[in-house]
Structure formats: C-alpha cells, structure tokens
Amino acid sequence: MNYLPAILTVALVHLLAAMSPGPDFILVTRNSLAYSRKSGIYTALGLAFGICVHVTYSLVGIGFIIAQSVLLFSILKLIGAGYLIFIGYKALKALRQTKTTENRLREIHLEKNKALRMGFLTNVTNPKVTLFFLSVFTLVINPTTPLYIKLIMGTEMAVATFLWFSLVATVVSHPAIRNKIRNVQHYAEKGMGVLLIALGVRLALSSSK
C-alpha cells in the first residue's frame, strides 16, 4: 500500500503527542482519581470526539484559516485557557474526603454527559491541538493524498486517543494504585488543579508562533 508509510508516520507522531503530559492527560487522571474509572473513560471518549472535530476542519481547510488569523487564534486560545482555569479552580475547591464519606463517594461517577463534555471542550478549544493537526495535514500528508486515506488517518487518531486515555484511566483508577494514594488524594487533586490553572495561564500567554 503506497500510503502505508504516511499512515504509520501520522499514527506515531500523534501517539507521541497524545502521550505527552498536557491538559488531556491531567484531566483524565483527575477524573479517574476523583470519581471513577468509568468517568475517566467517558472523559477519554470526549477527547476522541474533540479529535474528530480537529480532523474535520483540517480536511476542509478551516484549520489553516484559524492558524493564520490572529483574532480567531486569540479567541480560541482564551476560551480554552478559561476553561482549563475553571476546571482547575473546581479541583482546588474539592472537599477533602472523610472516612465517613469515603465508601459512599467511591461508588459515585461523574455524570456521563458531563465527563464527555469536559473531555470534548478541553481538547477542542486547545489551539495548540489545532496547530498540531494543521502541521500534520500540511507537512506529513501530501496534497494529492486521497480523501479516504485522510479519513483513515483521522479515524486512527481518534481511536488511538480514546484507547490511550482509557488505558490511563484504567491504570490510575486501579484499586491498588488508588489505595496507595488515598491518603494524599485530596492533595493530589489540588495539585492537578494547580497544574490545570498553570496550563491555562500558559495557554493564555502563548502565541501562535
């Protein structure tokens, strides 16, 4: 298959990007620890839906317009930064679990739609992801590449995103791991809240270059 090397290259580049610590990773980790494995997996699904949006507008050229427009990039950047800061603030306000409520909270899941929405908005409003997809579709993929090949690449990236972050949620929420960090979970969540706020501030202050 003539396009197999390009498909594998895109898959590898995207996987490495997905595995790099960032807002997506921190959000899935936070929801898996603060709520449940199910909540983390639904968050991962929301991230995958965000990837589908990036792929779609990259295919029709909107990604290029966003990347070239300072105003559009700034608006998207501020929306994404504001949302990360909001999530981080909510994490900082999380109440410390007491032994009385610990068992009850263990069975509580973040609402499915809320987890999906958090994952989707965190990914789709990140302009750095926009620039990543623009780079992939303009530098790695040849302009003559058939549409169905691009769709295969896009589908692979969405599926890989879901599988990777579902793995993260599964590992983080494993009883053995949760038991070890239970005593410091409150501080860990606050720490992730600080990281999310820091990422939001960094995103707000970043440029399109």
Per-residue pLDDT of the chain (209 residues; tens, 9 = 90+): 588 888 888 888 888 888 878 889 989 998 888 888 999 999 999 999 999 999 898 887 776 777 677 787 778 778 878 877 887 887 777 655 444 444 444 446 678 999 999 999 999 988 878 878 877 777 667 667 788 888 899 999 999 999 999 999 999 888 887 777 666 656 666 776 787 788 778 767 766 55
Q: What is the Cα 120 distance to its own chain's centre?
A: 7
Please tell me whether the overall predicted TM-score, pTM, comes out greater than 0.85 for this model. Answer: no
CA distances from 195 to 25, 88, 97, 200 (A): 11, 7, 21, 8
CB-based burial label for 33 (10 Å; 0-12, 13-18, 19+): buried
Nearest to 147 by CA among 48, 58, 14: 58
Structure tokens at 4: 């197999």
Where are the chain's structural domains? 40-205
What was the pLDDT predicted at 147? 84
CB-based burial label for 32 (10 Å; 0-12, 13-18, 19+): buried
- Which 8-state DSSP code applies to residue 140? I
What was the pLDDT predicted at 166? 96
What was the pLDDT predicted at 101? 44
Structure tokens at 176: 């053995």
What was the pLDDT predicted at 38? 93
Q: Under DSSP, is residue 98 helix (H, G, I), strand (E, B) or coil?
A: coil
What was the pLDDT predicted at 181? 65
Are 7 and 148 in contact, with CB atoms under 8 Å apart? no
Q: What is the Cα 46 distance to its own chain's centre?
A: 8
CA distances from 62 to 51, 134, 170, 186 (A): 14, 9, 35, 41
Half-sphere exposure (Cβ direction) of 104: Cα atoms closer than 13 Å: 5
